[in-house]
Each structure stands twice: as structure tokens, then as C-alpha cells.
Amino acid sequence: MTNQTQKPFSFKLLKTDGLARRGEITTPHGTVRTPTFMPVGTQATVKAMYPGQVRETGADVVLGNTYHLMLRPTAERVDRLGGLHTFMNWPHTILTDSGGFQVMSLAQLRKLDEDGVRFQSHIDGQKYHLTPERSVEIQGLLGSDIQMQLDECIKLPSPEEEVQRAMELSLRWAERSRVQFEKMGGPAKGQGLYGIVQGGDVPHLRVRSAEELAKMPFEGYSVGGLAVGEPQDVMLKMLEVTTPVMPADKPRYLMGVGTPDDLLESVARGIDQFDCVMPTRAGRHGLAYTRFGKVNLKNARHMDDPRPLDAESACPAASSYSRAYLHHLVRANEALAAMLLTWNNLAYYQFLMQGMRDAIDEGRFEYFRLKTKADWAKGDI
Ligand SMILES: CNc1nc2c(CC[C@H]3O[C@@H](OC)[C@H](OC)[C@@H]3O)c3nc(N)[nH]c(=O)c3cc2[nH]1
């Protein structure tokens, strides 16, 4: 990451339509059109895709992850090699998560205390100590444009006192993350650090978390602690409680979400940024997302079907290969199956996001939401 002073990180709220928001984030590596879907590239790659292809689908941001990259190849090595943008040949915006979520879901022998979290690598058993300061240092070494505070994402359901403890710890870690980010000169580099709202499924804890974080000068705010197995209506209820008390002039990022329907319903409740492994992971398991719902290419009913997934799609994976061929590739466990279906799925997610951005621009978001859901309900033609 160059040390020259960049223009500051900024967010412009361009238009609203109900609670849906159309905006633009400016980072050192370009402009992010919101609402935006950010493909997950945990280990410095969006699995089964070339970076140029990811860009062609319409992605403005990809994700990297502190937990995975600190273990391998290490943040120091990526820094020595010119930073994550150069390392993975992605010259556009990169967002990194702080690693807390993965430590709790992937690492062994985890011990969490006030100072941070101690754990052993799931790769080679080596011991680590991840603190709010170290997480921000790693994200700075990676050259991340949008960084996350270290937080504790608690599983749901959990007793209210547990939710409160984790939320209050995350607030203290938010302050320590901010101090480290400013010590490393993040703002002058035009980078952003997001505070992460916690509070589980407890409305008054959500509100307190958002209000306390809003007192700190974060460039953006994430809604964490959701998409951890709760039903969609609980997630949406938490958004209805939380977004109204989040700063309206800063981006809002709902972490780890979601299905196409989750995206539609969350934009309708004031969310700007999303990330999810769904489109890429589903692609590797033979599942295609289309304008008319999901198509499971493992299913024998596709064996003789000469039609493409969607002849009108701009994505060649959707328009230039028959369902019969895709079914064959999936059954044969061929590498091209994952490549084509991942490509199709990311292209569909970006098509959906572009549709939402246009609908908000033109003041017809509610119509777009209902029409899109009706098309999905038609099912695969
Ligand atoms: C899936 N549901 C979900 N994911 C979540 C993630 C990880 C997303 C991160 O996990 C990796 O994908 C598996 C991605 O890493 C590149 C992504 O950034 C979260 N991260 C933090 N720091 N705090 C949270 O409260 C949180 C909640 C989540 N809910």
C-alpha cells in the first residue's frame, strides 16, 4: 500500500426510495456502486474465477480475510510482495474481515478474553493471539481499503446475558481497533474502518450497540451477528430495529448475507453492502441461480434439456451452454462445472444488484421487489 496521501474515504447518498438507498463509496482503489454485492475471496481468490471475470460480472469489491491470510501466506509476506491488490491481481476495492468470525468457526482450542482471542491454526496447529490491534495491523499490511474491527459474533439463540457480554466486549474492541487504525494512518491513506453492530436478536442491545458505535468516527458500519442460523424473519426484524439508529450518511454492511431474497428484503430495509459465500459455494455444488429461481443441475430431469440456463443473460455461462451439458459436467465432477456455475451465479447476483440500483434511481423499488419475487416464484421454466 503506497503511503502517499489519498483523497479521503467517502460515501455519497445519491437517492432513497422508501428505506432503500442508492449510493457511492470512494476508496483508494475506485468507486463502489451501492447497493453492492461483494464476492467472497477468502484466501485471495474468488474460487473458480479469474479476477478479470469477476470484474466483468459487475463486482466493484471482493473480500479477503484476516484469519486465513494471517495463517497462510501471512500478512507480512503479502506486504513484502506489494499488498493484496498486487498479490491477487485485483486492482479494485478490497474489503477484509477482521478474522473473529472465522476463529470462532474454524480454529481449534480457542480462548477468548478481554485482550483478544488465542487459538491454534486449523492448518498446522501453530498458536496465535489475535487482538483488535493485531487484526487492524494485518489488514493494513494487506493494504485493505475497507477494514473491520475485531468483534465477537455470538451464535443464535444465546442467553441474553451472553449476547450482552459479547456486544459490550465488541464495543471495547471497537475503540481499540479505531486507535490502532489511526495510529497506522488509515484515514490519510483513504482507507475505511467499520464498526460492527452486535446484540444478537435482542432489540435493545442492538440499539445500544449502534448508538455507542455511532459516537466513534468510523467510515462505515456493519451489522454483524446475523446470518448465523436464525430464520429470515428474525434477521429482517433486527434490521428494522437497527438501521434506523445507524448513521444515515455512512455505508451499512450486512455481513455474510445472503440469498437473492435476503438481498432484496435487506436493501428494502436500508442496507448498502453484502457479502456471502452462497453464489460461489452453490456453484461448486451444482446449483444455479437464475431470474426464475434456482436450478439444481444434479437433477436427472436436465439430462436431455438443450436449453441454456438463460438465453437472455449477458453471461456466456448462462447463455451458451445447455442444461444437458451442465448436468453432464456436474455428474462427471468436472472442474468446468464449478467454473461455469460460479460464473453464472456471480453474474446473476450482480444482475440483481444492478436491477435494484436502477429501480431505486427510478423510484420504482417496491415494484421491482414484488416483480422479482413473482418471477422467482414462477420457478424454473
Ligand atoms: C455467513 N454468515 C455470517 N458471516 C459473518 C461474518 C463473516 C463474514 C466473512 O466470512 C467469510 O465467509 C465465510 C468471508 O470472509 C472473506 C466474510 O467476510 C461476520 N464477521 C464478523 N467480523 N462479525 C460478524 O458478526 C459476522 C457475522 C456473520 N454472519
pLDDT by residue (tens digit) across 151-185? 999 999 999 999 999 999 999 999 999 999 999 99
pLDDT of 5-25, one tens digit each? 679 999 999 999 999 999 999
Tens-digit pLDDT profile for residues 304-323: 999 999 999 999 999 999 99
Would you say residue 52 has pLDDT above 60?
A: yes
Tell me, what's the pLDDT at 129? 96
With CA atoms as reference, report the closest residue to 131 among 152, 145, 161: 152
What is the whole-number distance in angstroms between the Cα of residue 135 and the centre of ligand 1?
A: 15
Residue nearest to atom 24 of ligand 1 (CA): 224
Q: How far apart, in whole angstroms, are the C-alpha atoms of residue 186 and residue 145?
A: 9
In order, the DSSP letters of 350-364 are: HHHHHHHHHHHHTT-
Q: Tell me the per-residue pLDDT of 95-125, one tens digit each, with 9 for 90 and over.
A: 999 998 998 888 778 999 999 999 999 899 9
Cα gap 372→353, rounded to integer Å: 12
State mean pLDDT over 327-347.
98
**Average of pLDDT values for 336-360?**
98
Task: Indicate if 249 belongs to the active site.
Answer: no
Checking DSSP bridges between strand 146-148 and strand 252-254, what pairing results, if any?
Answer: unpaired
Please give the radius of gyration of the chain, using alpha carbons only, rounded to the nearest integer: 20
Residue 9 · residue 20 · CB < 8 Å:
no
Residue 44 CA to ligand 1 centre (angstroms) = 16
Give residue 246's pLDDT band: very low, low, confident or very high (50, 70, 90). very high
**Of 118, 138, 140, the residue nearest 128 (C-alpha):** 118
CA of 327 to the centre of ligand 1 (A): 31
Residue 192 has pLDDT above 60, yes or no: yes
Task: Report which of 253, 288, 206, 260 is spatially closest to residue 369, judged by C-alpha positions.
Answer: 260
Average pLDDT in the 285-297 region? 97
CA of 256 to the centre of ligand 1 (A): 5
Give 321's DSSP letter. Answer: S
Mutate to test the pocket of ligand 1, among 101, 136, 201, 263 (most ligand atoms within 8 A of CB): 101
Q: What angle do CA 270, 345, 93 make, to 5 degrees?
A: 60
Computed over every residue of the chain, the mean pLDDT equals 96
Instruction: Please identify, by atom number, the ligand 1 atom nearest to the C-alpha of residue 148.
Output: 22
Is the pLDDT confidence value at 4 over 70?
Answer: no
- Residue located nearest, by CA, to atom 23 of ligand 1: 224
Q: Is the pLDDT of residue 1 over 50?
A: no
Residues with CB under 6 A from ligand 1: 40, 42, 63, 65, 97-98, 100-101, 148, 151, 153, 196, 224-225, 227-228, 255-256, 275, 277
Predicted confidence at residue 105, as pLDDT, reads 84
Residue 381: predicted pLDDT: 62
**Looking at ligand 1, which atom is closest to the CA of residue 150?**
22
pTM above 0.90, yes or no: yes
For the record, the C-alpha cell of 267 comes out as: 436493501
Known catalytic residue: 97?
A: yes
Q: Is the pLDDT of residue 211 over 80?
A: yes
Q: Nearest Cα to 165, choosing from 174, 176, 153?
A: 153
Site to substitute for ligand 1 among 255, 263, 266, most atoms within 8 A of C-beta: 255
CA 317 to ligand 1 centroid distance, Å: 28
**Which of the following is catalytic: 97, 145, 201, 310?**
97
List CB contacts of 163: < 8 A, sequence separation 6 or more. 154, 198, 199, 200, 201, 202, 205
Nearest Cα residue to atom 1 of ligand 1: 256
Give yes or no for residue 142 having a pLDDT over 70: yes
User: Which amino acid type is present at position 200?
Assistant: G
Query: How confident is the model over 59-69, as a mean pLDDT?
Result: 97
pLDDT band at 49 (very low <50, low <70, confident <90, very high): very high
Nearest to 303 by CA among 328, 334, 286: 328
Give the length of the chain.
381
* The predicted structure's pLDDT at residue 81: 98
**DSSP-based three-state secondary structure for 223:** strand
